[in-house]
Amino acid sequence: MARHHPDQGARGGRGVPAGEPGDPRVPGGADRPRHRPPDRSRLRRTRRAVLHRQHRIGAGTPGGHPVPARPRPPARRLLRPPGRGQRQRAALRRARRHDALPGVGVDLLLRRAGRHHGRADQSRRHPDAVERPVRRRRAAGAGPDDDPPRGATAGLERGGRPRPAGGAAPAEGRRGGGRSTVSGRTTRKAQPAPGRRAATCDVRGDGRRCAPLNEIVVRDPGSGAVEAYAACSCGRRYPLPWTTRARLLAFLPGAGLVTRGSGTIAATALDQLVSRTVWPADSDRRFAKRGVVPVGTPVLHEPTAPAPLITTGLVTLALHMSSVMRQARGIGLAGNQVGVPVRVLVHKLGTVAPETLVNPELLRSSGTWEYTEGCLSLDVPETAARVLRPRTVLVRAAGIDGRALVMMADELFARVLQHEIDHLDGVEYVQRLTGPERARVYQVMRDQGVDVAVMPPRPYGGPAPR
């Protein structure tokens, strides 16, 4: 090791005394070492700090005016609420920052994020989600016109598979893979929340759990507001996928299906028709429930006419039909079942879709499903029968408030819609029967004195047998 010469400077060069020309501290020194490039990020931070200080004291310009601050870019606005993954990543970022709370670990922050933004807030945060209605227990009945019995299988085997007529394997409809078919294309079907066990459904029965069977889209023609959701048969609601919502909206026209009106000739004629033909609620006739038109009446076996407008008389008719349906302990009622030949129906599944449907139109159907049906217009013992109908139907209608609806219905709701639309077309449910069941029911009606000549067989998928 070389010894330090006393004449060398404390910070001098190689053997050159301090202050001599060879000292690198002297400008122009011969042995001046190489310097590192300037730290530009440090320079930027220093310049930013100086400008900030000048802006605060008002000395940024020769005139003493502050230097204007650089405007911040506008905050990005999210189109939809953050998901669970985004909340977890934000919690991780907070945990890794230097200003994180002392003693708070990553797991605790993740649990807080999942608990604070749980599914209890999803119905309020999601733009298309709606609150879940309170489920009500239904009284026992005997068919689509009656309340479904609590826990009744209603033609279903265990596991939710329908029992086919004659042992034939039914078409699965939309039961495969959680997908539905709309307009010939496959779209995703609403699914229950992941990680959450669905509750047992009292309406579906047989211990099966709630599921988003029915897909509903409602649009207000005035404001253009759209309400879209999926619902179980008991009324429990789920969010509807955007793809399914777009497919269903394609079946709705730009304008409303039926408009509200009063004072016109058409509105006056409709109100007079309703007041002239409606049956009183206390009328009691043979073969029918109180206030309901019995089989054999001409208005029950003829197609009805669409309502041109939604008038005060039509609203009064809907209220009257709803009262008669509940008085008779039914689950659905058509307009001609109270004597009015207008295309309007009411149903008791108001938590699934609007209770009153004006001018309903069946667009598509798929699959098969067997279910026990009865009728308020055919109150004859031993006439309830198992009818094989399509499992899912696509129906377009208007609400009593003028909003347009399109519904992809399944199971019970689809069966109620098909039963009541058949009534509006002048078809009784016994006309859809086939095989030994049809022979049995028709023989019972003949024995009770019912005129079966007005109800010729009209089964699905072929001409009526002789």
Query: Is residue 418 situated within a structural domain?
Result: yes
> Which residues lie closer than 8 Å to 154 by C-beta, 6 or more apart?
148, 205, 371, 372, 412
**371 closest CA partner among 108, 86, 164:** 164
**What is d(CA 97, CA 111) in angstroms, rounded to the nearest whole number?**
18
Is residue 126 assigned to a domain?
Answer: no
364 contacts 396 by C-beta, under 8 angstroms? no
Question: Quick check: is 275 in a domain?
Answer: yes
CATH number at 279 reads 3.90.45.10
Tally of CA atoms within 13 A in the half-sphere of 375 that contains its CB: 26
Task: Establish whether 55 is an annotated binding residue.
Answer: no
Do 339 and 278 meet the contact criterion of CB atoms below 8 Å apart? yes
Span 146-198, pLDDT tens digits: 554 444 333 333 333 344 444 443 343 444 444 544 444 445 556 655 555 66
Taking 70 as the pLDDT cut, the residues of the chain under it are 1-40, 43, 50-84, 88, 91-92, 94-198, 254-256, 462-466
Give residue 36's pLDDT.
62
CB neighbourhood size of 384 (10 A): 18
Reported pTM: 0.61
Asked whether residue 87 is assigned to any structural domain, the reply reads no
Give the tokens for residue 258.
Answer: 């039926």
Per the residue annotation, which of 215, 370, 411, 420 is the catalytic one? 420
Residue 419 annotated as binding site: yes
**Residue 245: inside a domain:** yes
> 375 a known binding residue?
yes
At position 448, the amino acid (one-letter code) is Q
420 classed as catalytic:
yes
* Residues paired with residue 59 on neighbouring β-strands, in sequence order: none
- Structure-derived torsion over alpha carbons of residues 179, 181, 185, 190, reported in degrees to the nearest 10: -40
Q: Is residue 267 part of a domain?
A: yes
> What is d(CA 359, CA 424) in angstroms, rounded to the nearest whole number?
9
Asked whether residue 360 is domain-assigned, the answer is yes
Which pLDDT score, from 0 to 100, does residue 71 have?
63
Q: What is the largest CA-CA distance in the chain?
A: 137
Give residues with Cβ within 8 angstroms of 107, minimum separation 6: none
- Can you give the residue range of the structural domain that contains 313? 213-454
Q: Is residue 417 part of a domain?
A: yes
Residue 209 is predicted with a pLDDT of 92
* Number of domains composing the chain: 1
- In this prediction, residue 451 carries a pLDDT of 92
Q: How far is the C-alpha of 127 from the C-alpha of 147, rounded, in Å?
A: 33
